[in-house]
């Protein structure tokens, strides 16, 4: 069974539907690549997907530890390179507004850094992830 359906709607835009839930989002080509930049670009979704995956897997592990990560945020910066055009670096600044033991911090940070998207990205993409606790 397919996961999603992507429709090219013209003008460098796609509409993306998650088939199980019916949830929809759009992408636009970025301003620096002939687009309108009115929505996430496809490469924005990849960089943001890494932060989504990190927070989700941390949330799963946090539940096991009896920790509530509600309110945690991630600021994502994507840096592009050319020849070929690609993501060269993803910077993620995690802010976790809770107090947890140093042991739990290490466990949760390791969980983030070993999420499925992390393992799915090309090894040439540099990743810089910082965690701020409390």
Q: Are residues 52 and 73 in the same domain?
A: yes
Q: Are residues 113 and 92 in the same domain?
A: yes
The answer to whether residues 47 and 76 touch, using CB atoms and an 8 Å cutoff, is: yes
Those residues whose C-beta lies under 8 Å from the C-beta of residue 68, and which sit 6 or more positions away, are 62, 98
Those residues whose C-beta lies under 8 Å from the C-beta of residue 131, and which sit 6 or more positions away, are 94, 96, 105, 109, 112
Q: Are residues 26 and 53 in the same domain?
A: no
- Categorize the per-residue pLDDT at 25 as very low, low, confident or very high, splitting at 50, 70 and 90: very high
pLDDT at 80: 97
Global confidence as pTM: 0.95
Give the structural domain span for 82: 42-133
Domain count for the chain: 2
Q: Are residues 89 and 110 in the same domain?
A: yes
> What is the C-alpha separation between 109 and 97, in angstroms, rounded?
14
Tell me the per-residue pLDDT of 34-61, one tens digit each, with 9 for 90 and over.
999 999 999 999 999 999 999 999 999 9
For residue 82, give the CATH number of its domain: 3.30.300.20
* Residue (of 123, 94, 90, 126) closest to 110 by Cα position: 94
């Amino acid at each position: 069974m397919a996961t999603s359906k992507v429709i090219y709607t013209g003008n460098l835009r796609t509409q993306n539907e998650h088939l199980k839930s019916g949830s929809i989002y759009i992408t636009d080509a970025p301003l620096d690549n002939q687009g309108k930049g009115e929505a996430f670009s496809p490469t924005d979704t990849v960089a943001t997907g890494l932060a989504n995956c990190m927070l989700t897997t941390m949330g799963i592990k946090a539940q096991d530890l009896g920790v509530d990560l509600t309110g945690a945020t991630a600021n994502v910066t994507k840096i592009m390179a050319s020849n070929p055009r690609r993501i060269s670096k993803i910077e993620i600044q995690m802010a976790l507004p809770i107090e947890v033991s140093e042991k739990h911090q290490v466990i949760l940070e390791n969980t983030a850094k070993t999420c499925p998207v992390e393992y799915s990205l090309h090894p040439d993409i540099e990743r810089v992830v910082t965690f701020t606790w409390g």
